[in-house]
C-alpha cells in the first residue's frame, strides 16, 4: 500500500472515489481545484515503466500485467478475465481509439435481434463534454473530410485540436482502394501524443506495441496522465494497493457511511460525504452485490434488482487478412469504416450492423498469446508465428450487443464473480464480417499493389475479453428499472454516484472510453453544484 499524502487519521474526506481508471481519474480531475478533500482508492499499484511493458512475451504469453483472478462463466467453468488492476485501470492497456457514440445511439433503435433502448440523456447533453474530453485526451482526428462527417452524425462538432495520425504505406493504399471501391473509410480518432509532421515533439513513437500493451514512453493518453495531473492538487490523495471490500450504510440504508477496504496492512475504513464508484462495470456491480445489510439484503443500490444485469461487452470478431509479401505497416490502426453502422447501404438489411476498425500490428508472440487458450504454443512455433504476423492486416468488427436481463454479473456463494452471458443480435454482425471478407477478397483480385488473399479468420470474442464491459448499473429515470438516475446517483442512496461504463444503457458499436470520460465530466459538474 502506498499513498501520495498522509492519510487522514479519522479517514474522512469530502469525496471518496473508488477506482482510478477512465471514470475515476476523470472524476478526480473534475473535482481538482475545488478545495474539497478527495481520496482515490485504487486496488492496484503504479504500473512500472520497464522493458517488459513492450515485451509481447511478457504481456501476452506470461500475462505479466493481467490479474490472476478466477471468474466463472454461466456453466460454472473457470476462466481468467483479461482485466488489469493498476493505477489508470484498463486505459493503460487500451488501443486509444477514442470515438464518440453517434446521435442515434442515445435513442431507441430497432435491431434485427431486438430493441436497443434509449438513454435518459441525449447526445446533445454529452456533446460539450465530448469536445472537452477530446482536448484533454489529445484526440487526433479529422472531421473535415466528407467521409468523416458521419462518424458522429454531429455536423456542429468542432474540428479536433490535433491532426489525424498519418497512415503507414500499406494502410494508405488499402484506404485508397476501399474508397475507390465505394466505401468511406475515415481517420480513426486516436488519443496519442503524436504530430507526424514534427515527430520529435510528441512522446508516441508509432511502435508496434500499442493496444494491449502499457506504453513504456507514456505516449498514449491514458488515465495515468490524468492521475499524475491531479496529484499536484494538495487536496487530492491517491492510495494504491487498497481494495474496497464493502460499502456500509447508515441504519436506514440511505447513505454510504463507511468504505471498507483491505490492504497488505489489514482492514481500513474511510468516509466520504460523497462516494463515487468507478471500479469498472463488473467490479462495481460485484462490490454492490456484496454490500448487503438488513435494509438491502439483495445488495446495495439494488432496489430495482438491476445491479449486475444488462451486462454487455460488444459482439466482436477479428478478421485477419493475409498478404503474399510483408505488410508495410508498423502502426496500422489508423482508419475505420462506419458505412454499415445503421444498415446495409447495398440493400437487403435495414438494421444496424456495426463498425470496422483496423487493429494494431500483431507480432508472433501476440498471436501465440491470443491463441494459447485454444492452441498449444508448440503448434505455432515462433518462426511461423512471425511469418504470419508480418503478412497480415487485422480488423476488428464491433457490433452492438443488446442489454438483456439474463446477461449478468453475480457473486457465487464463495464471493467469486460469475459472468452469465448469452450472445444476442448476431445476424447484423455476421453479415458485416462477411461483407468485409468479401471486400478484402475482391481487393486482392483487383488491385495488385495490395495483394490480399481471401483467407480470413473470424470468431466471436470470448467471455474473458472483458475490455468493453458495460451496462451493469443502468442509468434511467425509473428507480424500478434502473440503478442510477440521470446524474448517475444511485436511486436508493443520497450520496453514492457511479461513473464507470456500468451506467451505459446500451453498448453502441464503438469503443467506450470517450463516452465514459465525457459522462464522468458531466457528473463531476453536477457533484460540484452540490457543494
Ligand atoms: C486491451 C484493451 C484495449 C482497449 N482498447 C480500447 C480502445 O481502443 N478504445 C476505447 O475506448 N476503449 C478501449 N478499451 C476499453 C477501456 O480500457 C475501458 O473501457 C476503460 O478503461 C473503462 O474505464 P472504467 O473507468 O470503467 O474502468 P477501468 O479503467 O477498468 O478502471 C477501474 C479501476 O478500478 C480499480 N478497481 C477495481 N475494483 C476495485 C476495488 N474493489 N477497489 C479499488 N479499486 C478497484 C481497477 O484496478 C481499475 O484501476 C480497451 C481495453 C482493453 C483491456
Pocket test for ligand 1, best of 2, 19, 260, 509 (most atoms within 8 A of CB): 19
Range list of β-strands (E), 154-222: 186-187, 190-191
pLDDT attached to residue 219: 97
**Atom in ligand 1 nearest the alpha carbon of residue 287:** 41
What percentage of the chain exceeds 70 in pLDDT? 92
pLDDT classification of 462: cutoffs 50, 70, 90: confident
320 lines ligand 1 (CB under 6 A): no
Ligand 1 atom 1, closest CA? 212
226 lines ligand 1 (CB under 6 A): no
pLDDT attached to residue 454: 41
pLDDT attached to residue 456: 43
**Rounded average pLDDT over 488-494:** 98
Q: Which grid coordinates belong to 408?
A: 449478468
Beta bridge partners of residue 40, listed in sequence order: 17, 238
Greater pLDDT, 260 or 385: 260
Mean pLDDT across the chain: 92
pLDDT attached to residue 256: 98
85 lines ligand 1 (CB under 6 A): yes
Write down the number of H helices and E strands in the chain: 11, 21
* Residue 377 per-residue DSSP state: G
What are the angstrom distances between the C-alpha of 512 and each of 252, 468, 497, 503, 506? 36, 7, 19, 12, 10
Greater pLDDT, 350 or 150: 350
The domain made up of 2-530 is a member of CATH 3.30.70.270: no
pLDDT attached to residue 148: 58
Q: What is the CA(64)–ligand 1 centre distance, in A?
A: 17
List, for residues 431-445, the tens digit of each pLDDT value: 999 999 889 888 875
**Rounded average pLDDT over 66-86:** 95
**Rounded average pLDDT over 376-398:** 76
What percentage of the chain exceeds 90 in pLDDT? 81
213 lines ligand 1 (CB under 6 A): no
Cα-based angle 381, 386, 388 (whole degrees, multiple of 5): 100
Pairing of strands 139-140, 243-249: unpaired
Q: Which grid coordinates belong to 491?
A: 436511486
pLDDT attached to residue 323: 79
**Atom in ligand 1 nearest the alpha carbon of residue 502:** 26
Residues in Cβ contact with 527 at an 8 Å cutoff, skipping those fewer than 6 apart: 15, 27, 30, 31, 274, 276, 497
Pairing of strands 408-411, 243-249: unpaired
Residue 303 clears pLDDT 70, i.e. is over it:
yes
pLDDT attached to residue 281: 98
22 lines ligand 1 (CB under 6 A): yes
| Distance of alpha carbon 361 from alpha carbon 85, whole angstroms | 25
Burial of 472-497, coded b for 16+ CB within 10 Å and e otherwise, reads bbbbbeebeebbbbbebbbbbbebbb
Instruction: Give me the phi and psi of 207, to 5 degrees please.
Output: -90, 180
Residue 388 burial class via C-beta count within 10 angstroms: exposed 0-12, middle 13-18, buried 19 and up: middle
Q: What is the CA(22)–ligand 1 centre distance, in A?
A: 6
Residue 132 · residue 183 · CB < 8 Å? no
List, for residues 226-256, the tens digit of each pLDDT value: 999 999 999 999 999 999 999 999 999 999 9
Q: What 3-state DSSP class applies to 201?
A: helix
| Distance of alpha carbon 120 from alpha carbon 379, whole angstroms | 50
pLDDT attached to residue 447: 43
240 lines ligand 1 (CB under 6 A): no
What are the angstrom distances between the C-alpha of 259 and each of 380, 411, 445, 491? 48, 19, 61, 19
Cα-based angle 462, 298, 302 (whole degrees, multiple of 5): 75
Ligand 1 atom 23, closest CA? 22
Residue 426 clears pLDDT 80, i.e. is over it:
yes
**Rounded average pLDDT over 496-500:** 98
pLDDT attached to residue 84: 97
127 lines ligand 1 (CB under 6 A): no
pLDDT attached to residue 507: 98
94 lines ligand 1 (CB under 6 A): yes
43 lines ligand 1 (CB under 6 A): yes
pLDDT attached to residue 451: 46
Q: What is the CA(503)–ligand 1 centre distance, in A?
A: 14
Q: What is the CA(86)–ligand 1 centre distance, in A?
A: 9
Q: What is the CA(358)–ligand 1 centre distance, in A?
A: 21
Q: What is the CA(280)–ligand 1 centre distance, in A?
A: 6
- Element containing residue 41 per DSSP (H, E): strand 38-41
Pocket test for ligand 1, best of 467, 472, 502, 518 (most atoms within 8 A of CB): 467
pLDDT attached to residue 459: 61
278 lines ligand 1 (CB under 6 A): yes
Pocket test for ligand 1, best of 94, 210, 464, 475 (most atoms within 8 A of CB): 94
Residue 288 clears pLDDT 50, i.e. is over it:
yes
**Atom in ligand 1 nearest the alpha carbon of residue 19:** 34
Residue 470 clears pLDDT 50, i.e. is over it:
yes
* pTM score of the predicted model: 0.96
List, for residues 262-287, the tens digit of each pLDDT value: 999 999 999 999 999 999 999 999 99
Residue 90 burial class via C-beta count within 10 angstroms: exposed 0-12, middle 13-18, buried 19 and up: buried
| Distance of alpha carbon 291 from alpha carbon 450, whole angstroms | 56
Residue 371 clears pLDDT 70, i.e. is over it:
no
**Rounded average pLDDT over 91-117:** 97
Residue 380 clears pLDDT 90, i.e. is over it:
no
**Atom in ligand 1 nearest the alpha carbon of residue 44:** 47
pLDDT attached to residue 374: 63
Residue 89 · residue 103 · CB < 8 Å? no
280 lines ligand 1 (CB under 6 A): yes
Q: Which grid coordinates belong to 22?
A: 477512465
pLDDT attached to residue 405: 98
pLDDT attached to residue 452: 47
244 lines ligand 1 (CB under 6 A): yes
pLDDT classification of 379: cutoffs 50, 70, 90: low
**Rounded average pLDDT over 102-110:** 97
Q: What is the CA(59)–ligand 1 centre distance, in A?
A: 17
Amino acid at each position: 500500500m502506498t499513498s501520495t499524502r498522509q492519510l487522514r487519521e479519522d479517514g474522512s474526506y469530502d469525496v471518496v472515489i473508488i477506482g482510478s481508471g477512465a471514470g475515476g481519474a476523470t472524476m478526480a480531475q473534475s473535482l481538482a481545484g475545488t478545495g474539497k478533500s478527495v481520496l482515490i482508492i485504487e486496488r492496484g499499484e503504479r504500473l512500472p515503466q520497464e522493458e517488459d511493458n513492450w515485451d509481447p512475451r511478457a504481456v501476452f504469453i506470461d500475462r505479466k500485467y493481467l490479474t490472476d483472478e478466477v471468474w466463472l462463466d454461466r456453466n460454472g467453468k473457470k476462466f481468467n478475465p483479461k482485466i488489469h488492476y493498476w493505477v489508470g485501470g484498463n486505459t493503460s492497456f487500451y488501443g486509444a481509439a477514442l470515438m464518440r457514440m453517434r446521435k442515434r445511439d442515445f435513442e431507441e433503435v430497432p435491431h434485427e435481434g431486438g430493441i436497443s433502448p434509449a438513454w435518459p440523456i441525449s447526445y446533445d447533453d454529452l456533446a460539450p463534454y465530448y469536445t472537452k474530453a477530446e482536448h484533454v485526451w489529445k484526440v487526433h482526428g479529422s472531421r473535415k473530410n466528407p467521409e468523416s462527417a458521419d462518424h458522429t452524425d454531429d455536423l456542429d462538432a468542432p474540428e479536433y485540436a490535433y491532426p489525424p495520425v498519418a497512415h503507414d504505406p500499406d494502410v494508405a493504399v488499402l484506404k485508397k482502394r476501399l474508397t475507390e471501391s465505394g466505401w468511406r473509410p475515415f481517420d480513426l480518432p486516436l488519443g496519442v501524443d503524436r504530430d507526424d509532421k514534427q515527430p520529435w515533439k510528441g512522446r508516441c513513437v508509432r511502435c508496434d506495441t500499442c493496444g494491449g500493451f502499457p506504453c513504456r514512453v507514456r505516449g498514449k493518453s491514458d488515465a495515468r496522465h490524468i492521475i499524475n495531473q491531479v496529484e499536484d492538487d494538495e487536496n487530492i490523495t491517491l492510495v494504491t494497493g487498497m481494495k474496497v471490500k464493502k460499502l456500509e450504510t447508515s441504519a436506514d440504508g440511505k447513505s454510504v457511511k463507511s468504505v471498507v477496504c483491505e490492504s497488505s496492512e489489514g482492514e481500513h475504513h474511510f468516509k466520504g460525504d460523497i462516494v463515487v464508484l468507478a471500479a469498472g462495470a463488473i467490479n462495481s456491480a460485484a462490490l454492490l452485490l456484496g454490500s448487503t445489510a438488513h435494509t438491502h439484503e439483495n445488495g446495495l443500490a439494488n432496489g430495482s434488482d438491476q445491479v449486475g444485469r444488462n451486462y454487455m461487452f460488444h459482439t466482436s470478431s477479428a478478421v485477419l487478412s493475409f498478404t503474399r509479401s510483408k505488410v508495410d505497416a508498423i502502426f496500422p490502426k489508423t482508419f475505420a469504416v462506419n458505412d454499415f453502422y445503421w444498415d446495409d447501404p447495398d440493400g437487403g438489411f435495414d438494421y444496424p450492423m456495426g463498425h470496422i476498425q483496423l487493429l494494431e500490428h500483431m507480432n508472433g508472440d501476440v498471436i501465440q498469446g491470443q491463441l494459447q487458450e485454444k492452441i498449444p504454443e508448440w503448434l505455432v512455433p515462433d518462426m511461423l508465428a512471425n511469418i504470419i504476423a508480418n503478412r497480415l492486416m487485422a480488423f476488428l468488427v464491433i457490433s452492438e450487443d443488446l442489454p438483456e436481463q439474463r446477461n449478468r454479473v453475480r457473486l457465487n456463494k464463495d464471493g467469486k464473480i460469475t459472468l452469465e452471458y448469452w450472445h444476442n443480435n448476431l445476424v447484423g454482425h455476421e453479415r458485416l464480417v462477411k461483407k468485409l471478407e468479401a471486400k478484402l477478397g475482391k481487393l486482392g483480385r483487383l488491385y495488385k499493389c495490395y495483394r490480399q488473399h481471401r483467407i480470413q479468420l473470424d470468431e466471436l470474442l470470448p467471455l474473458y475479453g472483458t475490455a468493453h464491459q458495460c451496462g451493469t448499473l443502468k442509468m434511467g429515470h425509473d428507480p424500478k428499472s434502473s440503478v442510477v438516475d440521470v446524474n448517475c446517483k444511485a436511486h436508493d442512496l443520497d450520496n453514492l454516484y457511479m461513473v464507470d461504463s456500468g451506467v451505459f444503457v446500451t453498448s453502441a458499436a464503438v469503443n467506450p472510453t470517450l463516452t465514459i470520460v465525457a459522462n464522468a465530466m458531466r457528473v463531476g459538474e453536477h457533484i460540484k453544484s452540490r457543494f
